[in-house]
Structure 1
Amino acid sequence: MIIFEHPLNERIRTFLRVEHLFRQLDYFVHQEDPRSSRCAVDALLDIVAVTARADVRTEILKELERLIANLNRLTNQRGVDREALECILSELHEAAAGVQQLHGPIGHQAREDEFLKAIAQRSSIPGGTCSFDLPYFHYWLIQPTEQRQARFADWLEDLNPAIAAIRLALSLLRSSSSSRTALAEGGFYQEALDAVAPAQMLRVGIEAERSIFPEISGHRNRFSIRFMSPEPQGRASPCGEDVEFQLTCCVF
């Protein structure tokens, strides 16, 4: 099963982008090859750019507070596993405390690093980070793996609490609702959403052997899905067949 996710508000859109970039960073940063360190730096610069907005920290704390408030309402409901609930609430409070204790904006340490600033300025030019453009970067890339990873650890010091909070919030959101089978007649599906309890994200599951993918558009009130068939050349074309898929409207 291949899962496609689509955010239904700007906060979750930002969270998904940060998570996507951190997965790349987390993969490449542990590799020994200098080319992997180059890819890790690229991902780090993208994370720094995404989190440069002053309101990202506020949005993270608002989401954690929202999740805590929703979970607190379940405390006295029958059938709730109190031990599991307290464990999740503890994780959320810990994540919120980690973000609140940050000194300065998220990613400030990496954003103000002169070494990374020089790389970021040249990265906008195709091939602009060659050894003759940035000899210091080339020198750094051929240093022992331990030195490069130690530098990454410094850069990530004030990013890790925010990233951990985002990953926790998205994990809870993904597990908040059960998937259901839906049918896209002629490859098209649309549905109205509950405005009182709006969904934050959609998850669309397709069997791996199907040569199709979804194009999703929507907002808090309504969404639509158009299934597309890839072509060997040129643009993908709409799938005219009925498509059965798994749909999850994540509401927490």
Structure 2
Amino acid sequence: MTYELPLSERIRTFLRLEDLFEQMQHFSQHDGEWQNRAELSCLLDIFAISSRTDLRNEIAKEIERHTKCLVIFAQNPKVDREKLEQSIEQLNALNRQLISSSGRIDQIINQVDLLTCLSQRNSLPGGTCDFDLPAYHFWLNKPLSTRREQIQSWTSHLNPIRQSISLLLQFIRLSAAPTLKTAESGFYQQSLDTNQPVHLLRVSLDQDSPYFAEISGGKHRFTVRFMQPLESERPCQTQADIDFTLSICQL
């Protein structure tokens, strides 16, 4: 089991979007009213995040950063040039898709009355009940094929966003080889080299470990505490020595 901590706002946003895209993908594979509700709720959360930042520009900057790093790696004779060139071409292709798209990512909300109403009610607990949104109740009882076709029309423009974020996070995660560490009395701390910015920390434990990892940190140092869940009390830091693997992702 792996726990992650992003150390930049951009990567934090990407991880949130990755989680929402994965949820939306899961619900899209299961047909039914409740699955459609959950899928649209994820979609509205994606739109809400994208409305707070110029997401296309943030992704384009990250693609440019990765491309420059890969070009530098190409100077290393030990690097597999064929795979590296394929990676660069993947990034360039995604960048072209982003450039070719235009308009706000969430502009569909203002174009579809149902999505407008849902976005206004989605953050309210129980705010999408039938008596609040009879139009939504009507839509949810349309034939499945109709609902699926409409959802696809509302989400298709997000494909370059989803693919870009997925590829960028994949590169970041694979950029660091995991190293074995030991947290004495459930605590581990390490300083970071500020000349080599870290974008993501990853801590991995055995799947059957009785502990979970709490990671905190910034650009200078980070700490990992291994916590033991308790049934009726707050989790507490274990006093046991815990072996784990650590990845410090700097790409």
Above 0.5 in TM-score? yes
- Which residue pairs with 1:75 in the alignment? 74
The Cα RMSD (Å) is: 1.3
Q: Determine the C-alpha separation between the residues in 1 that align with 2:227 and 2:73.
A: 41
Q: Which amino acid aligns with 1:161?
A: P
Paired residue secondary structure (1:202): strand
Gaps of 5+ in 1: none
- Which residue pairs with 1:84 in the alignment? 83
Over 3 Å counting, the alpha-carbon distance change for 1:162 and 1:176 in structure 2 is: same
Listed as ranges, the matches of 1:174-189 within 5 Å are 174-189=173-188
Conserved 8 A contact 1:5-1:204? yes
- Which residue pairs with 2:160 in the alignment? 161
Q: Determine the C-alpha separation between the residues in 1 that align with 2:150 and 2:97.
A: 21
Per-residue deviation, 1:108: 2.3
Listed as ranges, the matches of 1:98-113 within 5 Å are 98-110=97-109, 112-113=111-112
Listed as ranges, the matches of 1:30-109 within 5 Å are 30-109=29-108
Q: Which moved more, 1:156-165 or 1:8-17?
A: 156-165
Conserved 8 A contact 1:52-1:107? yes
Cα shift readout 1:9-30 (whole Å, capped 9, x = no counterpart): 1110000000001100011022
Conserved 8 A contact 1:200-1:220? no
Per-residue deviation, 1:180: 0.6
Paired residue secondary structure (2:73): coil
Q: Determine the C-alpha separation between the residues in 1 that align with 2:147 and 2:175.
A: 39
- Which residue pairs with 2:23 in the alignment? 24
Conserved 8 A contact 1:29-1:36? yes
Conserved 8 A contact 1:216-1:225? yes
Per-residue deviation, 1:194: 1.6
- Which residue pairs with 2:150 in the alignment? 151
Over 3 Å counting, the alpha-carbon distance change for 1:113 and 1:54 in structure 2 is: farther
- Which residue pairs with 2:138 in the alignment? 139
Q: Which amino acid aligns with 2:72?
A: R
Q: Determine the C-alpha separation between the residues in 1 that align with 2:53 and 2:20.
A: 19
Paired residue secondary structure (1:24): helix
Gaps of 5+ in 2: none
Paired residue secondary structure (1:32): coil
Per-residue deviation, 1:77: 2.1
Q: Determine the C-alpha separation between the residues in 2 that align with 1:234 and 1:88.
A: 48
Q: Determine the C-alpha separation between the residues in 1 that align with 2:172 and 2:107.
A: 28
Aligned-residue sequence identity (percent) comes to 38
Per-residue deviation, 1:158: 2.2
Q: Determine the C-alpha separation between the residues in 2 that align with 1:217 and 1:111.
A: 39
Q: Determine the C-alpha separation between the residues in 2 that align with 1:50 and 1:33.
A: 26
Conserved 8 A contact 1:107-1:156? no
Q: Which amino acid aligns with 1:209?
A: D
Q: Which amino acid aligns with 1:167?
A: S
Paired residue secondary structure (1:156): helix
Per-residue deviation, 1:111: 5.6
Paired residue secondary structure (1:46): helix
Cα shift readout 1:56-114 (whole Å, capped 9, x = no counterpart): 22111110000000101122321221111111001000111111111112232246432
Per-residue deviation, 1:49: 0.5
Q: Which ranges of 4 or more aligned residues in structure 1 deviate by more than 6 Å?
A: none
Q: Which amino acid aligns with 2:189?
A: Q
Q: TM-score, normalised by structure 2?
A: 0.96
Q: Determine the C-alpha separation between the residues in 2 that align with 1:249 and 1:111.
A: 41
Q: TM-score, normalised by structure 1?
A: 0.95
